[in-house]
Chains A and B, each alone.
Chain A
Amino acid sequence: MSSAETKAEAARTRSAWLLSLPALVVLVFAASGPLLIVLAYSFLTPGQYGNVVWDFDLSGWIGILYTKDIFDGTWGLADAHLTIFWRSVKLSLMTTAITFAVGFPTAWFIATRPAKQRAFWLFLITIPFWTNLLIRTVAINEVIRNEGLLNTSLIWLGVISEPIRIIYTDTAVLIGMAYVYLPLMVLPLFAAIDRFDMRLLEAGYDLYASRLRVLRRVILPIVKPGIIAGSILVFVPSLGAYVTPRVLGGGKNMMIGNFIELQFGQGRNWPLGAALSMTLLVVVMVALLVYVRAANKGDNPHG
């Protein structure tokens, strides 16, 4: 490469960076940079009234799994924390499973519509996708509340005499999350099914495969990257959910997101909150790496 070419390339790189600089400054200031402060805070000593004291301390990280007995000062496994983690993981996995069970047929339905109708059905999925999550949570709340649509209709129909209490239970959180995150499952599944070559089905049926066999042996393996993508797109926000468990779970049925908030509020343990945030971040990043791998595989038909 001649020196003129090298110079031209350096100039191009410089202009790319200069043009991106304002965006990077905003992002470093109000998105990435503060994450480093959280990391630092996770290694400090909790202050008495919240905030931190600038002394190195691992209690934030240890506190994720263990608690100190107030009376004899010994460390024991923190059952309450484990319950919250287990609930978060369990509800997130169940949300993913439910949205897949409902989302796959829905995505298939949309992808197999005539081309003109497809845009319409897709738009119907996109509207809730972009609608405020809080509004959708409020909406589902009005359905499942004790005096909500579901209970009043069932009582009116005479099916039940007392309202079924769903609100402020894990079930309410599960219903709410499945409801708000369903579009996140349908959209990547649709993208995968849309690329699926329907002639493969004919081939399968020509070879005397049953519908179930075609679904299991032909469709599912080919749309697998879409399944992984959708599952992670649902699992990741479920795990970090804050609004839905707060509104539908009440104060007791906390998930990790609410538990983190608690540390910065009444809990007054900022280092523990910071360590929990970092843990959540790492888990989510690992999940997203799997997602990127799956998405790249999807681009390569021989992969």
Chain B
Amino acid sequence: MAERSFEVARLPGFKFIAITAFVLLYMPIITLVVYSFNSGQSVAVWEGFSLDWYGKAWANEAVKGATYRSLIIAASASAIATTVATMAALGTTRRKAFKGQTFIYVMINQPLMVPEIVTAVALLIFFASIKVATGYNGLIYLIIAHAAFCIPFAYLPIRARLEGMDLTLETAAADLYASHWQTFRRVTLPLMLPGIIAGAMLAFVISLDDVVITEFVKSGGQDTLPTYMLGQMRRAVTPEVNAISTVLLALTVVLLTAFFLLTRKND
């Protein structure tokens, strides 16, 4: 080792394992994306490039309906979650410790701690009895269920943004005789906007991806894209599932990249 410099942080074999891990992490996803463009039925033998499976998926009424429901639920749930999370973040940050603070934190973070299957079962029981009592079976159950588990994901980036914000601008506004509301509307809200957008995007992605809770809460004919895919997995896998996955994947990557760019500017 004398002839080359001694790198203290080098541990033998670590780089190899790490590179292998990255390859293994991406290989299945890349395979999935590549074979969604395969012209043949097979998900293992390449038969030429085509967009057939995207066309077939889009021509499928079940997929169209599921896409529509996924988007409606994700948009509504993330809107609700972001609104209430913004208010909660304003209530719980930038002030001295208050009575019940820990309780509120625990409540907000609860969906991150309870296993999804347990929440799913709980909502199944609860909503089933409401459905029987009211006879109403609409999407609203799914929207509320999604809104609840999206709250912590919307709350965390908003809170992080608020905590990193400079108080002096608000003090300045108050010094210049702005009312509480004017200060909030003209100073606080624009400053915290990147956090709110980031939170909303995260909530949207989380809602769009949910399988377990949706699977248990949905009524007949209320499949979203992930539950539709889960149902398809029981049968032979066709590249149609790959095509749907690729579209969802692309959407996630776009939203996440935007999220990173938004939150990076904070620093």
Contacts and interface: CB of A to CB of B under 8 A. Distances in A.
Asked if A and B are interacting partners, one says yes
Interface of A: 9, 12-13, 15-20, 22-24, 26-35, 37-38, 41, 51, 102-103, 105-106, 108-110, 112, 121, 123-128, 130-136, 138-143, 145, 147-149, 152, 179, 182-183, 198, 201-202, 205, 211, 215, 236-237, 239-240, 242-243, 246-247, 256-257, 260-261, 264, 270, 273-274, 277-278, 280-281, 284-285, 288
B147 A105 contact: no
A64 B200 CA distance: 41
Contacts of B187: none
Interface stretch (B58-66, B95-103, B171-179, B190-198): B95-103
Interface in B221-264: 226, 229-230, 233, 237, 241-242, 245, 248-249, 252-253, 256, 260
Given A30-B147, A139-B32, A277 B11 contact: no
Interface string B196-225: 000000000100110110001000000000
Nearest to B217: A30
B49 to A, nearest CB: 18
Interface centre among A105, A133, A152, A205 (most CB of B within 10 A): A105
A106 B21 contact: yes
Interface residues of B, number: 91
A36 B208 CA distance: 27
B15 interface: yes
A38 B104 contact: no
A142 B43 contact: yes
Contacts of A138: 32, 229, 233, 237, 241-242, 245
A253 to B, nearest CB: 15
B9 A32 contact: no
B235 to A, nearest CB: 12
B14 A284 contact: no
Nearest to A135: B245
Nearest to A257: B117
Nearest to A204: B8
A123 to B, nearest CB: 7
A224 B87 CA distance: 37
B8 A143 contact: no
B51 interface: no
B87 A26 contact: no
14 contacts: A16-B101, A17-B104, A26-B144, A27-B148, A30-B144, A31-B149, A106-B17, A109-B19, A126-B256, A138-B229, A143-B31, A149-B28, A247-B230, A281-B115
A123 B259 CA distance: 12
A237 B32 contact: no
Nearest to A291: B113
A240 B84 contact: no
Nearest to B93: A16
B44 interface: yes
A20 B237 contact: no
Given A138-B245, A288-B113, 11 more contacts: A9-B98, A13-B100, A19-B91, A19-B92, A23-B107, A26-B144, A27-B148, A105-B11, A108-B18, A143-B28, A240-B115
B125 A41 contact: yes
A66 B169 CA distance: 65
B230 A243 contact: yes
A205 B88 contact: no
B205 A33 contact: no
Given A30-B145, A128-B29, A198-B8, A284 B113 contact: yes
A15 B180 CA distance: 14
B24 A132 contact: no
B111 interface: yes
A19 B233 CA distance: 43
B127 to A, nearest CB: 8
Contact of B117 (A142, A274, A277): A277
B76 interface: no
Nearest first, the 5 closest Cβ-Cβ pairs linking A and B are A19-B91, A240-B115, A109-B18, A34-B122, A139-B28
B252 A130 contact: yes
A244 to B, nearest CB: 11
Nearest to B28: A139
A146 B257 CA distance: 35
B92 A140 contact: no
B8 A135 contact: no
Given A16-B92, A35-B114, A139 B256 contact: no
Interface string B110-123: 11011111111111
Contacts of A257: 115, 117
